[in-house]
Amino acid sequence: MRRPGRLLVLFAEVTTLALFAVVVLGFVDTATGSALGCGRSFPLCNGSFFPAPNLNAVIEWSHRVLSALVGVLVGVLAIWTWIRVWRSIEARWLAAVSLVFLTIEASVGALAVLIPESQAVIAVHLGIALTSFAATALLAGWLLAMRAQGGNPGRPRVPTRLAASAWGMLVLMYCVVYLGAYVAGTSAGSACLTWPLCTSGQVTLSLSNPVTIDYVHRLAALVVGAATMWLWLQARAVAATRPDLARISGWMVILTVAQIGSGLLLVLSRLALDATILHVMLITVLFTLSAAMALGVLPEAGADRQRKRAGASSPESAAG
């Protein structure tokens, strides 16, 4: 298999950083109430190419322009990857997921602007953006590993329970991301500015109650903390053969604690923008690590076929 060139690896890393900026800016867009800074106009901003001189319009316009530019980068990266390392199933799939989900993100983003009272759509939009980022970041890591190792980086199999836990963790993480985006979109966080309990309102069965929304998000964060610790304990059991999984899950534990701490900081700072950005950056990296765990527990694509091919071409096989 052809090794990816240094320029391709560098381009993937730059694209990852640019997409990270898009994700963070998207959350800032929502947290500052700038999602409608350009009104119900798309792709123009209030009917004009350039935004009006107000902060909300500038934030929304900047998010749109940066998203469009990064969309081009992701498209080039996907095509370049398919041409250069087309024999790697993992690399091809990651490139495809990154491009497809970024395209869906742009479509859902436009839908969120055109549909009134679309907080649920905005939350889905941000979750899709994280999926695209995770795929791009994993692709960049995969290309770097292939270049360093001179081929497809292999990985031993893991117990079925660990594989199920890793994928369950990814689903749970996505749900928490969605809840967090929904909290930001509905401004539910401002209804509960004490921690860990809320003294400013009562929890009800109605999901339209902002206190209930915020409580559900906090409870989900605690569940993620327990699930991350359980995943780390399972990964430690296979650390001898899969040190990569033990290392990733260890970082997940650290980042989960940091994420909960940033949630506390968010409450104490009365939802300050810098605390919001920190909270978003941490969950973006944490979600990406969870995706790396889910990818890492999958059976190596084509591994059995490659082993059979290697065995057939070995001297012992030929002698037989």
Please list the active-site residues. 60
d(CA 85, CA 67): 26
Q: Give 263-299 as a DSSP string.
A: HHHHHHTTS-HHHHHHHHHHHHHHHHHHHHHHHHTSP
Biggest CA-to-CA distance, the chain = 80
Residue whose tokens read 């923008």:
273
Phi, psi (deg, nearest 5) at residue 45:
-110, 105
Q: Give 222-272 as a DSSP string.
A: HHHHHHHHHHHHHHHHTTTT-HHHHHHHHHHHHHHHHHHHHHHHHHHTTS-
d(CA 48, CA 33): 20
- Other CB atoms within a 10 A radius of the CB of residue 320 amount to 6
Helices (H), 32-159: 55-84, 89-114, 119-149
Task: Give which of 79, 94, 88, 73 is closest to 138, Cα–Cα.
Answer: 94
Q: Is 48 helix (H, G, I), strand (E, B) or coil?
A: strand
Contacts of 88 (CB under 8 A, 6+ apart): 1, 142, 146, 152, 301
